[in-house]
């Protein structure tokens, strides 16, 4: 079983780009909750989740992303997603959560929108 690891790098504009590694179907998105909580409690309230290594997002995953976004919004920030594969994008559109959390095609586009927030 793979251990869920992540890297977090600050972008030039001040957003935090979080990329998860080692994700497998055996790991749940619940493992991401303490990571998001810790980052946001440390003052990182503008987070871009790089989905390039995530092949599939289940209902728990979407719930985790929505929860993290709400937590960041309570601190005048947001969590957005970027670089999702076509399957993840299809599910995103199917469940209709575009109003609640955004997916951008690239990290740069996500960064531009997120860092323009006041």
Percent of the chain with pLDDT over 70: 91
Rounded to whole angstroms, the Cα distance separating 48 from 80 reads: 5
Domain segments of the chain as ranges = 5-115
Provide the pLDDT for residue 26.
47
Rounded to whole angstroms, the Cα distance separating 39 from 101 reads: 18
Give residue-wise pLDDT tens across range 19-48.
987 665 545 677 889 999 999 999 999 999
pTM for this entry: 0.92
CATH of 5-115, one of 3.40.430.10, 3.40.50.280, 3.30.750.24, 3.40.50.10420: 3.30.750.24
Give residue-wise pLDDT tens across range 70-111.
999 999 999 999 999 999 999 999 999 999 999 999 999 999
Provide the pLDDT for residue 28.
65
Average pLDDT of the chain to the nearest whole number: 90
Which among 19, 7, 34, 16 is positioned nearest to 115, based on CA atoms?
16
């Amino acid at each position: 079983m793979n251990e869920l690891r992540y890297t977090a790098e600050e972008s030039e504009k001040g957003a935090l780009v979080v990329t998860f590694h080692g994700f497998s179907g055996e790991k749940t998105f619940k493992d991401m909750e303490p990571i998001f909580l810790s980052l946001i409690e440390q003052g990182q309230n503008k987070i871009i989740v790089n989905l390039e290594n995530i092949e599939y997002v289940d209902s728990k995953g979407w719930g985790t992303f929505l929860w993290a976004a709400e937590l960041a919004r309570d601190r005048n920030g947001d969590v957005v997603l970027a670089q999702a594969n076509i399957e993840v994008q299809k599910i995103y559109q199917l469940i209709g959560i575009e109003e609640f959390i955004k997916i951008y095609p690239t990290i740069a586009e996500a960064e531009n929108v997120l860092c323009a927030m006041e």
